[in-house]
Chains A and B, each alone.
Chain A
Amino acid sequence: MHLSPYKKTHFNNNIPHLHHHHHHIHDDDASPIDMHNNTTTTNSTSLCSSDSGEPCEDGKWACKLLKECAIAISQRDSTKIHHLLWMLNELASPYGDLDQKLASYFLQALFCKATESGHRCYKTLSTVAQKSNNFDSARKLILKFQEVSPWTTFGHVAANGAILEALEGESNLHIIDISNTLCTQWPTLFEALATRKDETPRLRLTVVALSSATVSSVMKEVGQRMEKFARLMGVPFEFNVINGLDRLGELTKESLGITNDEAIAVNCIGALRRIEVEERESAIRMFRSLNPKVVTVVEEEADFSSNRNDFVQCFEECLKFYGLYFEMLEESFPLTSNERLMLERDCSRSIVRVLACGGGDEQNNNKEEFEDCCERRERGRQWCEKLKKEFSGAKFSDDVVDDVKALLKRYRGGWSLVLPQQQQQEEGHNSNYNNNTLSGIFLTWKEEPVVWASAWKP
């Protein structure tokens, strides 16, 4: 039977859940969307052709439909919403091609947004993910990803290079690692320390596990491996983990166990975006108070922050970023890869979190339940603005840049390194930013900047 927007009764009969749904969907203003009424009629033929002119990465159907649906949700056009959701559901599949995958995961988020079930969905997804999470699978996943794509290793190599140079000559090192990398960044650093011409320094590593029970349970094992490996390399080593931290700003010198005789490096990989937007500046101030020799910041190049009150804009940005990411995953992994599937599923949680877990609606009272903060990414330039207030940008040395370039050569094509001057030119003559110099280097995938890595000194 063909469903059309005009036959509303079918919808009514088949959505008992929604029918009893007491919370109404509301967007920016208070008036609820009544999903059961046909407030506006739409011409079915216009649905496919009314692309707003925003270019899609692949110019295929998923982007168009998804954007349409997002617009419909922001306009509270329930008929259109219904229709589009239905269409997307028909066409979507997490096991299909790129379009089908994007459709599938974004449909989920859109649905949650439309039905205000974002938090519940997110919780469910998280619980499911945690069940199948253990050291072996996490390790396998992260190592495989690093083998096929420089997405994460780019930041590692750049950060390690900056850290080694900044801590040159020091004999007591303390690295504060705020990331979810499961310490995959550090073995090469151990090796570099061990093969230095002068004395091998003592190294303390304090990992601040970025929320998520999945990471915490695994960190114990990770720590043991690191200790063993450091022993093997002949690096005097001490490992600590700080778990269950609600707010990064709560970290102090004492809670990190910093002593006066050590040289500090703060390493933030995907960390800053996990801080609540309002608290980011104070967290940066906290870093400054630790008096580090260097702070390395690696973030993904996307902006879900400045547009967080504009659903459609945020949605488009999200779609663009994850579209790139999924495409990259598809081209990096072999065709039937479980690891890729896992990574895609991880994304689905993030997407739901960003798009459908807005503030002020259901179940947002107890924030502690949601260990994972909403990852409101910002672009490198935006981070620069914030970091400049407490630090000054440190240029990566030629050697480090060479190392990164060499790293990229080891992967399949499509990747390149872009220096800040080049990126500034790319971004055009934006009058806001003319005076500011951009810090850090960019990893680009098919000419699109995707990851930003930077180093900062007090």
Chain B
Amino acid sequence: MMILQNMDHGELSNAFPHHQNQNPTTTPPPSLKRKRNLPGNPDPEAEVIALSPKTLMATNRFLCETCGKGFQRDQNLQLHRRGHNLPWKLKQRTNKEPKKRVYVCPEKTCVHNHPSRALGDLTGIKKHFCRKHGEKKWKCDKCSKRYAVQSDWKAHSKTCGTREYKCDCGTIFSRRDSFITHRAFCDALAEETARVNAASSINNSTLGANNNNNNIIGYNNMMIGTSMAPHNNNNNNNMATQFASICNKPIPFTEEATNNQTTTRGLSLWMDHHHHHRQEATMATNNNNYHLNWVFGSKISTNPSQDLSSNNTITSTTTTSLPILGSIVNVPSLYSSQHQPHQTCASSSSANMSATALLQKAAQVGATSSDPSSFLGALGLKCSNGSDQGQDGNNNKFCGVYGSSLVLTSSSNNINREAEKNELSQMHPSKRRHVMPNEESGGGQTRDFLGVGGANHHLPPFINQSLDLI
């Protein structure tokens, strides 16, 4: 136990019997948000090591058995071992240490301080300790965000300021905060919900009690009656859950998640051209699109003015490769002109990741890649077409990922369009804003020096009249 000798400051607890009260292999109760640090379910047989902060940061992962020297990388260790001129027998690399080691965080207030939540990777615990409890020494130039771990900082710096966010209305933002604020007030958002409501009300009657449609029914039930903010706590959780899932947070459908068959079956329903399922999907995708827009910073151009009829052409050119998706069935909203189908495909696999994880992943891939397929590739999806940036081209590619053979019958399209129009006209007459006159009067109105219209008799004529004298 070479390690022991170097640990003058460290405490050691050996062979901590794990199976006292905790059962680390129990799945944590389904939570609304899955914690990223879910590791912390260490092997009960593993040896728990508690090091002081100083020792922890000094400890290297790869240790030479002969002399105890530590190395950050395995290759370096091997190189070093050659220098010991070991007999052939010992030259072989020893098997991986039979005793797995797990480490607890030295910070007493930390949840990972407890052996039942120890982390198995030395590098991992080092980074954790720095991130959570360490001084943030590394600072991004552009945005002043601070990091304790150098690799985190490097990863961030690569993508900082390069991401672009695009709203459904077509405006592009380089700043995330202004994008978020804009999105909250954007008319596109209001319209989207209107359309969604329209879709859900039409769709209500056509749903069966198919178990495979669990997700879909769930969404549908949620969408109906969404006009008021929920007051009941339970409702809140359900709604939030459902929405959270749409917004890239996992929902407690863990059974479906692991059951590929169910998923495939669910997808096969899509394949069966049931057009009403499409409508359910739009609810999901509409909301997903929001997140996707800003998470993935897609630079695919939007044409908001594209009318609905053109969607038919899009659907006709799809391919049928079918990836295995996550538990949430997300199908591109093909009847919605403003919501790009291609943006939704990435969401499905990310449904089980937290938003932060998603952002990190996006950062790794490179957010401004003009070839979205590389991004999707990173997420485990495939795009069959080339990187055509044109409107139709993109739609083809991403529809291809889904094998979206959703064939829209023209009748369903019309129904939606009409419903949508009705909704729109009921909800927001001001949405017909394109014809609204510009009420700001740069010109046109005569104004005297008080800045009001000329017909106001309260204004003293003194000043105006004096001009006439000249």
Contact = CB atoms under 8 A, between A and B. Distances in A.
B451 interface: yes
Interface in A39-92: 85-86, 89, 92
> Which of B32, B230, B249, B451 has the most chain A CB atoms closer than 10 A to its own CB?
B451
Interface string A193-237: 011111110100000000000000000000011111111111111
B356 interface: yes
Contacts of A236: 229-230, 233, 236-237, 239-240
A197 B36 contact: yes
Interface stretch (A13-21, A242-250, A379-387): A13-21
B449 A89 contact: yes
Contacts of B456: 124
A440 to B, nearest CB: 19
Given A89-B449, A132-B439, A188-B177, A231 B145 contact: no
Contact of B33 (A125, A128, A147, A197): A197
A187 B247 contact: no
Interface stretch (A262-270, A325-333, A338-346, A445-453): A338-346
Contacts of B290: 232
Given A128-B453, A199-B32, A229 B460 contact: no
B451 A143 contact: no
Interface stretch (A114-122, A279-287, A313-321): A114-122
Contacts, number: 180
B223 to A, nearest CB: 10
B67 interface: no
B244 to A, nearest CB: 4
Contacts of B463: 85-86, 89, 111
Contacts of B446: none
Task: Provide the main secondary structure of the chain A interface.
Answer: helix
A3 B469 contact: yes
> Which of B177, B184, B226, B441 has the most chain A CB atoms closer than 10 A to its own CB?
B184
A200 B247 CA distance: 13
Nearest to A153: B177
A234 B249 contact: yes
A191 B236 contact: no
B32 A200 contact: yes
B430 interface: yes
Interface in A1-33: 1, 3, 10, 14-18
Contact of B355 (A120, A194, A238): A194
A195 B356 contact: yes
A458 interface: no
Given A89-B449, A234-B247, A409-B142, A184 B185 contact: yes
Contact of A187 (B183, B439, B465): B183
Contacts of B241: 234
Interface in A170-199: 184, 186-188, 190-191, 194-199
B460 A406 contact: no
A115 B450 CA distance: 14
15 contacts: A17-B462, A18-B462, A85-B463, A108-B451, A121-B450, A137-B440, A147-B178, A153-B177, A225-B185, A229-B183, A231-B193, A231-B226, A231-B243, A341-B442, A398-B146
Given A187-B181, A233-B247, 13 more contacts: A14-B462, A18-B462, A92-B449, A134-B439, A137-B439, A147-B178, A186-B184, A195-B356, A234-B240, A234-B244, A236-B240, A338-B438, A409-B144
Interface of A: 1, 3, 10, 14-18, 85-86, 89, 92, 94, 104, 107-108, 111, 115, 117, 120-121, 124-125, 128, 132, 134-137, 139, 143, 146-147, 153, 157, 184, 186-188, 190-191, 194-200, 202, 224-239, 336, 338-339, 341-342, 345, 348, 398-399, 402-403, 405-407, 409-410
The 9 closest A-B pairs by CB, nearest first: A187-B184, A236-B236, A406-B144, A338-B440, A234-B244, A229-B184, A234-B243, A406-B143, A195-B355
